[in-house]
Amino acid sequence: MIKLNIHEAKTHLSRHLHRLERGESILLCRRNNPIAEIRLLDATRHTQRKIGLAKGTFHIPAAFYQPLPDDLLESFGGLDIEQPAHRRGQNSRSRK
């Protein structure tokens, strides 16, 4: 087990990753008091997930695909009522 204080971990974590990949774990400490353990995750899934496992468990109503009302869009700050509808999407992207 590798014991590291927070500053050491932030500065040199990449140096310790090789040992982590070999199965060792890192005990993260604050002022030499253990607060967390960093360990290798279990191996990734070797089989693919089946598609459609949630089929039939919920229904999306047609209203979900309808445009949101202007007053709701305005409350998110993404709509300027004075602009024509065809320019609204361009304005919301330029504000980002």
CA angle 62, 66, 67 (to 5 degrees): 165
Strand 26-30 and strand 33-38: the pairing is: antiparallel
- Indicate which CATH number applies to the domain containing 29: 3.40.1620
Count of domains observed in the chain:
2
58 inside domain: no
* Domain around 79: 67-94
pLDDT in tens, 60-75: 899 999 988 888 888 8
Q: What is the pLDDT of residue 54?
A: 87
Residue 7 lies in a domain: yes
Judge whether 59 lies within some domain: no
Supply the pTM of this predicted model.
0.43
How confident is the model over 10-62, as pLDDT tens digits?
998 888 888 888 889 999 999 999 999 999 887 777 788 888 888 889 888 99
Q: Is residue 51 part of a domain?
A: no
Handedness of CA 87, 88, 89, 90 (dihedral sign): positive
